[in-house]
C-alpha cells in the first residue's frame, strides 16, 4: 500500500516500529495511505537514551558547527521539496502549490533562521557587578533531552518550529508526530540521518496516550514541548510534575477574534479573510474564525462575505486552482458538521458555499451569524467556518475577546492608528494584527496566553526558551 518512509528514526538508524500500526489516511480521498508501525515502549526508551547520549557531545560543539548543520538541513529540504511537498499534501490534504511554494519554504527558512540565531545569543556583558574582584558571566546552556509532540495541521512546519531551535541550542530531541500525519517527518528524517550525528534527532510514531505519554513521562526528559489541544497540554503538565520535574513549552488551541470597527476597510478585510479564515480548511490555531463587527456594518459585511464564501474554490489538493482542501479526518469532518448543525438548531443564519462534488473529508465554507453566547462563537471549531457577531461599542467587543479561555491570535480593523492601537493594547492575546491577519515572520515570536499556552515559537525568544540560563562568578 505504501511508497512512503514508515520506519522510526532512532539513534541515527531507521528501524521498524514494534508496536501496533496506525493508519495514515489521504483525506482528499478518505482512504488509507500507509500503515505506520508505532514505537513500542522499549523503543521510546531507546530513543530517549539515544538523545541523552547524543546531546552531551552535541552541546559541546561550537555554535558555528551546529549552525552549519542547520543550514545544510535547509539546503537539503529545498533540494527535496517535490518529494516532501507531495507527501505532506497527500497525508494532510493541503493544496500542493501552497505546500511546495509556501510551507516548505518556511520550513527551510526556520532551519536557516535558527542556524543563524545561535551564533548571536543575547545576554548582559560579563562584568564585575559586585566588586572589582568578582567577575560574573552568564551562560546559556542547553536543557538536555527535549520531548516534542507535534500536531497534524502543519506536520512539517510545526516539527521545524520545534526541532530547529532545540537542536540549534545544543539539545537533543525525541519528537512524536501526530499519528494522523507521520509521513512527512519520517521523510525529513532521511535528511537528519545525512547531516546530524546519531541521536540528536529521533522520531517515534504512535498515538498520544501510549507512545506520547511514555515519551513525556520518561525520567531522562528535561523539557516537554507540545503543540496540540488544551487537554493534551494538561496531560503534559501532569507528566512534567512527575518524579523529575520538567520544563514545559505549550502551544495550544485558539479562537481568534477579528474586531471590525466602524471605519474599517471592508474590502481589504474580506480579501484578507479569504486566506486568513480558510487557508488549510480553517485548521489553524490563529485562523480568523470569529468576527465581531460594529452593528452599523453587519449587513454590508455579511453581503460581502457571502460573495467571497460562495466564490471560494476548494477540492482535490493537486488541482492548481484550489484555495483549500479537505479537513484532516472523518472524525474532524463530523465534529465541524456538528458545530454547524447545532448552530442551525439554535436558529442561527447559515450561509454556505457549494457542496463538495468529490469524495473525501470536505466541508463547504460556511458563515454563521450567531450571538456571542453561541457554542460556535466560543469553542474552537478548527474547520472552514466563520462566525459573525455584531457589537454596539468597541469596549463590548474587547470584553468579548478577553472573556475567552483562549489568547493566541487576534486582529483589529480600523483606519485610525490610535483607535487600533488602543484596542490592540487592551487585548489579552499573544499575537495581534492590525489591518491584516495570520501573517507570520520567522524573526517574531508566536505564542499564546491563558489556555492557548505559553512559551514562544519562532524568533530569538524560542531559541532562549530551549536554553537554561546560568550565572558563573569568579571570586
Ligand atoms: P492533540 O492534542 O489531539 O494532538 C497533538 C499531539 O499530541 C499528537 O501528536 C497526539 O498524538 C499527542 N497526544 C495526545 N494525547 C497525548 C498524551 N496524553 N500524551 C502525549 N501526547 C499526546 O491536537 P491535534 O488535534 O493534533 O492538533 C490540533 C490542536 O493543536 C488544536 O487545538 C490547535 O489549536 C492546536 N494547535 C496550536 C498551535 C499553536 O501554535 N498554538 C499550532 C497548531 C495547532
Give the pLDDT score at 358. Answer: 77
Ligand 1: residue whose CA is nearest its atom 26: 151
Q: How remote is the CA of residue 39 from the centroid of ligand 1, in Å? A: 18
The atom number, within ligand 1, closest to the CA of 151 reads: 26
Give the pLDDT score at 3. Answer: 84
Give the pLDDT score at 320. Answer: 95
- The pairing of strands 21-26 and 31-37 is antiparallel
Ligand 1: residue whose CA is nearest its atom 8: 178
289 tagged catalytic: no
Closest CA to 233 of 452, 4, 9: 452
The atom number, within ligand 1, closest to the CA of 285 reads: 34
CA atoms of 353 and 313, how far apart (whole Å):
9
Written as tens digits, the pLDDT of the chain (475 aa) is 458 999 999 999 999 999 999 999 999 999 999 999 999 999 999 999 999 999 999 999 999 999 999 999 999 999 999 999 999 999 999 999 999 999 999 999 999 999 999 999 998 899 999 999 999 999 999 999 999 999 999 999 999 999 999 999 999 999 999 999 999 999 999 999 999 999 999 999 999 999 999 999 999 999 999 999 999 999 999 999 999 999 999 999 999 999 999 999 999 999 999 999 999 999 999 999 999 999 999 999 999 999 999 999 999 999 999 999 999 999 999 999 999 999 999 999 999 998 887 789 999 999 999 999 999 999 999 999 999 999 999 999 999 999 999 999 999 999 999 999 999 999 999 999 999 999 999 999 999 999 999 999 999 999 999 999 999 999 9
Q: What is the pTM of this model?
A: 0.97
pLDDT digits (tens, 9 = 90+) for 325-376: 999 999 999 999 999 999 999 999 999 998 887 789 999 999 999 999 999 9
Q: How remote is the CA of residue 176 from the centroid of ligand 1, in Å? A: 11
Count of residues making up the chain: 475
Neighbours of 358 (CB within 10 A): 12
Q: How remote is the CA of residue 253 from the centroid of ligand 1, in Å? A: 8
Pair 395, 259: CB distance under 8 Å: no
The atom number, within ligand 1, closest to the CA of 239 reads: 19
Provide φ and ψ at 86, rounded to 5°.
Answer: -65, -40
Give the pLDDT score at 357. Answer: 74
Pair 473, 135: CB distance under 8 Å: yes
Closest CA to 22 of 33, 11, 10: 33
Neighbours of 415 (CB within 10 A): 13
Packing angle, helices 394-402 and 417-426, rounded to 10: 30
CA atoms of 217 and 149, how far apart (whole Å):
12
Give the pLDDT score at 187. Answer: 98
Cβ partners under 8 Å of residue 34, min gap 6:
1, 2, 4, 6, 23, 24, 91, 183
Set of cell numbers at residue 150: 507535534
CA atoms within 13 A on the CB side of 276: 26
- The pairing of strands 172-176 and 145-149 is parallel
Q: How remote is the CA of residue 451 from the centroid of ligand 1, in Å? A: 13
Mutate to test the pocket of ligand 1, among 152, 184, 232 (most ligand atoms within 8 A of CB): 232
The atom number, within ligand 1, closest to the CA of 233 reads: 2
Ligand 1: residue whose CA is nearest its atom 3: 229
3-state DSSP assignment of residue 142: strand
CA atoms of 408 and 286, how far apart (whole Å):
7
CA atoms of 130 and 152, how far apart (whole Å):
51
Region class of 11: left (phi > 0), else alpha (psi between -120 and 50), else beta: left
Set of cell numbers at residue 112: 536557516
Q: How remote is the CA of residue 230 from the centroid of ligand 1, in Å? A: 8
Looking at 179, 251, 323, 380, which residue is catalytic?
251
Give the pLDDT score at 1. Answer: 45
CA–CA distance from 223 to each of 35, 236, 272, 474 (Å)? Answer: 30, 10, 37, 29
Pair 94, 317: CB distance under 8 Å: yes
Give the pLDDT score at 356. Answer: 82
Scanning the structure block, which residue is given the C-alpha cell 485562523?
287
CA–CA distance from 246 to each of 161, 192, 225, 228 (Å)? Answer: 20, 26, 10, 18
Ligand 1: residue whose CA is nearest its atom 9: 178
CA atoms of 335 and 237, how far apart (whole Å):
26
Give the pLDDT score at 202. Answer: 99
H and E: helices and strands count for the chain: 16, 22
Q: How remote is the CA of residue 38 from the centroid of ligand 1, in Å? A: 17
Set of cell numbers at residue 69: 548543520
Cβ partners under 8 Å of residue 6, min gap 6:
17, 34, 35, 36, 37, 182, 183, 186
Task: Please give the DSSP secondary-structure letter assigned to residue 103.
Answer: I
CA–CA distance from 464 to each of 37, 228, 250, 452 (Å)? Answer: 35, 21, 15, 20
* Ligand 1: lining residues by beta carbon, under 6 Å: 149-153, 158, 176, 178-179, 207-209, 212-213, 216, 227-229, 232, 235, 251-254, 285, 380, 382, 408, 448, 452-453
3-state DSSP assignment of residue 15: strand
pLDDT digits (tens, 9 = 90+) for 426-437: 999 999 999 999
The atom number, within ligand 1, closest to the CA of 446 reads: 40
Sheet of 13-15, strand order: 13-15, 8-10, 201-203, 172-176, 145-149, 221-227, 247-251, 453-454
Give the pLDDT score at 2. Answer: 56
CA atoms of 349 and 306, how far apart (whole Å):
12
Task: Please give the DSSP secondary-structure letter assigned to residue 236.
Answer: H
Give the pLDDT score at 196. Answer: 98
CA atoms within 13 A on the CB side of 183: 26
251 tagged catalytic: yes
Ligand 1: residue whose CA is nearest its atom 28: 228
Mutate to test the pocket of ligand 1, among 36, 149, 151 (most ligand atoms within 8 A of CB): 151
The atom number, within ligand 1, closest to the CA of 254 reads: 34
Set of cell numbers at residue 323: 484555495
Amino acid at each position: 500500500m505504501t511508497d512512503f518512509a514508515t520506519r522510526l528514526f532512532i539513534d541515527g538508524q531507521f528501524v521498524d516500529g514494534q508496536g501496533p500500526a496506525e493508519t495514515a489516511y489521504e483525506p482528499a480521498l478518505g482512504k488509507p495511505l500507509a500503515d505506520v508501525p508505532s514505537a513500542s515502549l522499549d523503543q521510546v526508551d531507546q530513543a530517549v537514551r539515544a538523545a541523552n547520549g547524543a546531546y552531551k557531545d552535541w552541546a559541546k560543539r561550537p555554535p558555528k558547527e551546529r549552525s552549519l548543520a542547520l543550514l545544510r538541513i535547509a539546503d537539503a529540504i529545498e533540494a527535496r521539496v517535490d518529494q516532501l511537498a507531495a507527501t505532506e499534501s497527500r497525508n494532510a490534504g493541503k493544496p500542493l502549490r501552497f505546500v511546495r511554494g509556501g510551507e516548505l519554504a518556511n520550513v527551510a527558512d526556520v532551519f536557516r533562521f535558527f542556524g543563524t540565531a545561535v551564533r548571536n545569543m543575547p545576554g548582559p556583558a560579563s562584568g564585575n557587578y559586585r566588586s572589582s574582584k568578582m567577575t560574573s558571566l552568564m551562560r546559556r546552556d542547553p536543557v538536555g533531552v527535549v520531548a516534542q509532540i507535534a500536531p497534524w495541521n502543519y506536520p512539517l512546519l510545526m516539527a521545524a518550529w520545534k526541532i530547529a531551535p532545540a537542536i540549534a541550542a545544543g539539545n537533543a530531541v525525541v519528537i512524536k508526530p501526530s499519528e494522523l500525519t507521520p509521513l512527512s517527518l519520517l521523510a525529513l528524517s532521511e535528511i537528519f540521518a545525512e547531516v546530524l550525528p546519531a541521536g540528536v534527532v529521533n522520531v517515534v510514531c504512535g498515538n498520544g496516550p501510549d507512545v506520547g505519554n511514555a515519551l513525556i513521562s520518561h525520567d531522562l526528559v528535561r523539557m516537554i514541548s507540545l503543540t496540540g489541544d488544551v487537554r493534551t497540554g494538561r496531560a503534559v503538565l501532569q507528566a512534567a510534575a512527575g518524579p523529575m520535574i520538567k520544563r514545559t513549552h505549550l502551544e495550544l488551541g485558539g479562537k481568534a477574534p477579528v474586531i471590525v470597527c466602524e471605519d474599517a476597510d471592508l474590502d481589504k478585510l474580506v480579501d484578507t479573510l479569504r486566506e486568513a479564515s480558510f487557508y488549510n480548511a480553517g485548521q489553524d490555531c490563529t485562523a480568523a474564525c470569529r468576527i465581531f463587527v460594529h452593528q452599523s456594518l453587519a449587513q454590508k459585511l455579511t453581503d460581502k462575505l457571502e460573495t467571497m464564501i460562495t466564490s471560494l474554490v476548494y477540492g482535490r489538493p493537486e488541482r492548481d486552482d484550489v484555495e483549500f482542501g479537505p479537513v484532516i479526518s472523518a472524525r474532524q469532518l463530523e465534529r465541524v458538521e456538528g458545530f454547524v448543525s447545532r448552530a442551525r438548531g439554535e436558529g442561527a443564519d447559515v450561509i454556505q458555499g457549494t457542496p463538495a462534488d468529490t469524495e473525501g473529508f470536505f466541508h463547504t465554507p460556511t458563515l454563521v451569524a450567531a450571538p456571542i453566547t453561541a457554542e460556535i462563537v466560543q469553542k474552537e471549531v478548527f474547520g472552514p467556518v466563520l462566525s459573525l457577531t455584531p457589537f454596539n461599542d468597541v469596549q463590548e467587543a474587547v470584553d468579548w475577546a478577553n472573556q475567552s479561555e483562549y489568547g493566541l491570535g487576534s486582529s483589529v480593523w480600523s483606519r485610525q492608528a490610535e483607535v487600533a492601537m488602543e484596542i490592540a493594547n487592551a487585548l489579552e492575546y499573544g499575537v495581534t494584527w492590525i489591518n491584516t491577519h495570520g501573517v507570520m515572520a520567522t524573526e517574531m515570536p508566536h505564542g499564546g496566553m491563558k489556555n492557548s499556552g505559553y512559551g514562544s515559537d519562532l524568533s530569538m525568544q524560542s531559541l532562549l526558551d530551549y536554553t537554561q540560563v546560568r550565572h558563573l562568578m569568579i571570586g
